[in-house]
């Protein structure tokens, strides 16, 4: 799981940069201000939680009793896919002819946000349950 998580984190980081650049360069002429703001929110949360995954990857390498860290990582992965992914698709729904999918995509965003919250909660539980050596 250690190597797999770092690979997943790397892929998420790579796609955060690719999608961010795509939004900044290719979408600015095709989306309105509101859609670009929605897209940017997806990028922001994608980055934040990719960095959180990277931190968890480091902790998993150094710590024992990492079950709560694994759970947190899984929640962040699902959160990125549902929250950020749904925002990307909602922002680009006109370009991708996804107007009929708005009723499905819209509810995915708060579900993804709930997974983000759960991931942070699981990280908190990990911190509370484990002792860390003092520096």
Rg (CA), the chain: 17
3-state SS of the chain is CHHHHHHHHHHHHHHHHHHHHHHHHCCCCCCCHHHHHHHHHHHHHHHHHHHHHHHHHHHHHHCCCCHHHHHHHHHHHHHHHHHHHHHHHHHCCCCCCCHHHHHHHHHHHHHHHHHHHHHHHHHHHHHHHCCCCCC
What predicted TM-score, i.e. pTM, was given to this entire model? 0.93
Give mean pLDDT, residues 39-64: 95
Q: Residue 88: its pLDDT value, please?
A: 97
> How far is residue 83's CA from residue 46's CA, in Å, rounded to a whole number?
8
> How far is residue 117's CA from residue 57's CA, in Å, rounded to a whole number?
18
Length of the chain measured in residues: 135
Q: Is there a contact between 126 and 76 (Cβ–Cβ < 8 Å)?
A: no
Q: Residue 48: its pLDDT value, please?
A: 98
Of 10-19, 44-53, 56-65, where does mean pLDDT reach its minimum?
A: 56-65
Tokens of 99: 């107007």
Q: Residue 135: its pLDDT value, please?
A: 63
Reported as a single tens digit per residue, the pLDDT across 19-46 is: 999 999 999 999 999 999 999 999 999 9
Reported as a single tens digit per residue, the pLDDT across 97-133 is: 998 999 999 999 999 999 999 999 999 999 999 877 7
Reported as a single tens digit per residue, the pLDDT across 4-14 is: 999 999 999 99
pLDDT reading at 67 higher than 70 = yes
């Amino acid at each position: 799981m250690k190597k797999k998580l770092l690979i997943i984190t790397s892929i998420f980081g790579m796609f955060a940069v690719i999608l961010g650049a795509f939004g900044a360069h290719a979408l600015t002429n095709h989306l309105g201000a509101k859609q670009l703001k929605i897209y940017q929110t997806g990028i922001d949360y994608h980055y934040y939680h990719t960095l959180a995954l990277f931190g968890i990857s480091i902790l998993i390498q150094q710590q024992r009793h990492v079950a709560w860290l694994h759970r947190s990582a899984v929640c962040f992965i699902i959160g990125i896919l549902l929250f950020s992914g749904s925002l990307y698709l909602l922002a680009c729904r006109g370009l991708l002819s996804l107007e009929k999918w708005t009723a499905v995509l819209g509810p995915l965003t708060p579900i993804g946000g709930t997974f983000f919250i759960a991931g942070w909660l699981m990280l908190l539980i990990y911190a509370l349950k484990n002792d860390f050596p003092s520096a």
